[in-house]
Structure 1
Amino acid sequence: MRIALVSEGTYPYAMGGVSVWCEQLIRGIPEYRWEVVALTVDGSERPVFVPPDNLDRVRPIPLWGGKPAGARPARTGYRPGPAFTESYEVFLRALITPVESTNSVQGNVSRSLFLLALRGLFEYAADGGDLSAALVSNDALTMTLDAWRELRVEENGPVPTVADAIQAAWLIEHMLRPLSAPPVRADVVHSSMNGLSTLVGMAAKWAHGTPLVMSEHGIYLRERYIAYLAEDASHAVRVLALSFFRSLAGAAYLITDVLAPHSAYNRRWQLHNGADPDRMWTMYNGVEPAEFPAATSEPEVPTISFMGRIDPLKDLHTLIRAFAVVRKEMPEARLRIFGGTPAVNRIYHESCEQLIAELGLTGAAVLEGRVANAVDAYHAGSLVALTSISEGFPYTVVEAMACGRPTVCTNVGGVAEAVGDTGFVVAPRDHVAVAEACLKLLRDDELRLRLGYAARARVLEHFTLSQSLQMYRNVYEGLVTPLPAPEPAAPLPGASHLPVLRPAYPGLRHSRVYGSRR
């Protein structure tokens, strides 16, 4: 079996939960041969993981450098011709037409048209057309402005300028570069997330009929919307960019053979955005319990520990504000924040340090940087906190639970499914609720130790790495040789309101109008 695993901004060039998952998957199934197709910034990235023996190749596709590899030199006045413009017209109609409901008939039609348009753009590039030049050509810019005026005629917002059209075209050209890359050859393509990564799988399906698996750790579309809250872009550019992400996510749900959400929470989001329940199989992340031994002691002073990358999505400002409340009640308490800071998040790192100083927490709350062994970070705390505003099924929570530490977390993604009744789950961005939960645990030794013991037991029963890897083996082999339908899984204890649904899926090497050529 040869698996092509597609990443975007993660493995093998950056640390984080998705990268850990990629590494576990490759090393954990050594009988398969693997190739990683990595969507990168400009190709200058250097791996931070030692390649496993069964990883044959890492193939980067830079999205934001100069012209894509193999592209012709830039040409002034490039005219792409009808082979491009016919597909691009459908692309723009799907992109610009307002959609009232993602689950409406109109929404389904829009997703299908967008997928057909993507295939047309792929075939234009495969037949020798310069897709990058076509997407930023005068013809494409004129089509964009005309489509907006025609399809959004009743909208009260500002009409895009030529500058807006140029900026949007520049963004779309970079994001569609995977369609111009040589299609990957493998038995299965596995996208580690929705969005741009799925373009690699689409190209392989259209070229070779390769089945596509898609995991979704967090909700890609939701995170794009959150990111664009801070973008300095015009109304029209925001509409076009976010419509692109929405349309791409929906198109990926249509073409994917097996969709593997990492929580029931993710599954509900995907269903809302047009995913087919008959092709979905909820698959939780797992950890190797031996690598996360239970702590045998506690720190000398009450300590809240955080482990993860320094990133706005982790909302460390809420954690720091919560600690300020804790500190007033327990002056001896400490907050230890472990984790590296990606280069793009240096400003956010500085804002965290500034907030610590403003709240008078210097010396009590410390950003300690990357730690060699995550276990040390979990053992360093009396409890472990996670105050994210977006998560999938979080490794840090499961790892902390395996170490026998109770957790205080925000109710996003699959966090509540992981924690169950072994910790406290509160509303996101509510620093007072976070503080109250932390104080309850820090003041009650018996409760803290009992929940820590229950947390490790929950991991051993439900979230081990061996369970997770076997599920992926079943999916891969089911796509090549159909397997009997699995029995539905029972809901997890402590999360009865969040049903774990694993519907049967057929051996999905089927042909679709917008899928395989077979």
Structure 2
Amino acid sequence: MSEGTYPYAHGGVSVWCDQLVQGMSEHRWEAVALTVDGTEQVQWKLPANLERVVSIPLWSEGRRQRHAPRPGPMFRAALDGLLTALVAPPDPDPQRATVQRSRFLLALRGLWEYAAEGGDLARALSANAALGALQDRWGEAAEAYGAEHPALAGRPPRLTLADAAQAADLIGHMLRPLAVPPVRADVVHCAMNGLPTLVAMAAKWAHDTPMLISEHGVYLRERYLEQAAGRLPHAVAVLLLGFHRGLAGAAYHFADALAPHSEYNGRWQRRLGADPDRMWTMYNGISPERFPSAKTEPDEPTIVYVGRIDPLKDLHTLIRAFAIVRRRVPGARLRIYGAAIDTQYRDSCLALVDTLGLKDCAKLEGSAPDAVAAYHSGSVVALTSISEGFPYSVIEAMACGRTMVCTNVGGVAEAVGDAGFVVPARDHQAVAEACITLLRDPELRRRLAVQSRQRVLDRFTLAQSLEAYRGLYDRLVQPALTGRTFAGALR
């Protein structure tokens, strides 16, 4: 299961999905992708053992059910549990927090049962009675917690009808996976926490299917970063974050196994209530032969970035760092390769390049048709993200014999180890100093480049990754798995 990725888009999560399907050709697979409106086109050549692709559009208009049953007592109880969770702050007491997660899970099950009986979840959540109940819960939370509620303190005690309606509409769209027939498989493997886990929960409730969650980044942390941009009214953001927090905790609580892609992600999962006894760290892997070590370096000292043009990659920090590098390393150049996921952010990067007077030496190259050539075009490869999982770009660059300068987010430090430089996020001065050190010292670059490739060979090969997943699937499904079907829940 994934959201917006394989097989409808490219990127690290899609690469990982394709690796699993193609690398385990002895198994049959289904891909369930949460998409925008269902018009997305397949971007990958589908392997023969990928037998079915299911698209669940979250944001299309959708069909109203004319003869949907009226919400009864069971639905109202589930709705009450959901609304209470949206406004309640997380309980710091571990036992009470477990109770919160269990109640949210029960609420989701009640909503699923209503949808399975033909109920129209979106209509029921947006009905006058539901909106009034949400307003009441908001007022009760404001009165009960007062200044102790981190999100409601200092805010009006009454939730406006407009904010309640907007939040209910958005949550109704996000709950659409509960309204489709549950998948039939031997394991449902979610690429991440969040909305894909709704597909796995439905399969577990309907068919007792084992549920496995991987996590490339920390889903809940990224939702907080997303809402920090302030694009939604405060009250709507509070309610959406309450939903995401409740869903993430419920999924950790309900999953049969968790496979974080780094120890860093695992620490976040444990903090959010995951059971350490059901967790196995699974690093991403690559085929080293596809990423040969560079034999030469560019004629000019060059910093390269390869990845998405996206706010989470914080390319502003990289550009500001390069402005310092350019003043201290004569002839230095910056080459940024990647597709613009967010065109406004791309334009802001171009504007910053212009403002800092770097147009003659810093260039946004667009997508890299040949990733190996892109890595080889740099003396140093940089990644200045504010959030990551275990990025393929880091281990690909390391396999190519390039030394990394990275920010300390996600599993980046675990990938780089002592074979490169890891600095604090959002610190352009620290990024600049690390790049300057490497660009001025060719012997250090060469030594770390050799270490980098060897570290990939020792720890992060695709063969190692696939073998680890085979072992985990074997724990979840007995007897032997040959010929069984796996559903990937993707977002």
TM-score, normalising length: structure 2: 0.94
1:98, 1:152 within 8 Å by CA — same for their partners in 2? no
Corresponding residue for 1:18? Answer: 13
Q: Deviations over 1:63-122 (max 9, x none)?
A: 011116xx51599xx952323111111111222222242x53222111110001100100
Corresponding residue for 2:101? Answer: 111
1:70-89 alignment runs, 5 A limit: 71-72=64-65, 79-89=70-80
User: For residue 279 of structure 2, what is the amino acid of its counterpart?
Assistant: M
Corresponding residue for 2:37? Answer: 42
* Match of residue 33, structure 1, among 28, 35, 42: 28
- 1: CA distance between counterparts of 2:220 and 2:479? 31
Corresponding residue for 1:202? Answer: 201
- 1: CA distance between counterparts of 2:23 and 2:314? 32
* Counterpart check, 1:474 vs 2:467: no
Corresponding residue for 1:400? Answer: 397
1:191-340 alignment runs, 5 A limit: 191-340=190-339
Deviates more, 1:271-280 or 1:52-61: 52-61
2:292, 2:399 within 8 Å by CA — same for their partners in 1? yes
- 2: CA distance between counterparts of 1:170 and 1:405? 47
Corresponding residue for 1:157? Answer: 155
Q: Helix, strand or coil: the match of 2:225?
A: helix
- Closer, same or farther: CA 163–79 of 1 in aligned 2, 3 Å: farther
Q: Once the two structures are aligned, what percentage of the paired residues are identical?
A: 62
Corresponding residue for 1:120? Answer: 110
1:97, 1:152 within 8 Å by CA — same for their partners in 2? no
Deviation (angstroms), 1:317: 0.3
Q: Helix, strand or coil: the match of 1:171?
A: helix
- 1: CA distance between counterparts of 2:340 and 2:90? 38
- 1: CA distance between counterparts of 2:304 and 2:352? 18
Aligned residues: 471
Q: Deviations over 1:438-497 (max 9, x none)?
A: 0100000000000000000000000000000011111112211279xxxxxxxxxxxxxx
Q: Helix, strand or coil: the match of 2:56?
A: strand
Q: Helix, strand or coil: the match of 1:297?
A: coil
2:122, 2:169 within 8 Å by CA — same for their partners in 1? no
2:259, 2:282 within 8 Å by CA — same for their partners in 1? yes
Deviation (angstroms), 1:245: 0.5
- 1: CA distance between counterparts of 2:47 and 2:472? 22
- 2: CA distance between counterparts of 1:388 and 1:347? 18
Corresponding residue for 1:444? Answer: 441
Q: Deviations over 1:316-373 (max 9, x none)?
A: 000000011000112311111111112xx01001101111111111031111111122
* Counterpart check, 1:64 vs 2:63: no
* Match of residue 372, structure 1, among 369, 373, 393: 369
List runs of 5+ in structure 2 lacking aligned partners: 147-153, 481-491
Q: Helix, strand or coil: the match of 1:298?
A: coil
1:341, 1:349 within 8 Å by CA — same for their partners in 2? yes
Moved over 3 A (4+): none
Corresponding residue for 2:453? Answer: 456
Q: Deviations over 1:263-297 (max 9, x none)?
A: 11111100000000110001100010000000011
Corresponding residue for 1:505? Answer: none
1:225, 1:242 within 8 Å by CA — same for their partners in 2? yes
CA RMSD of aligned residues (A): 1.5
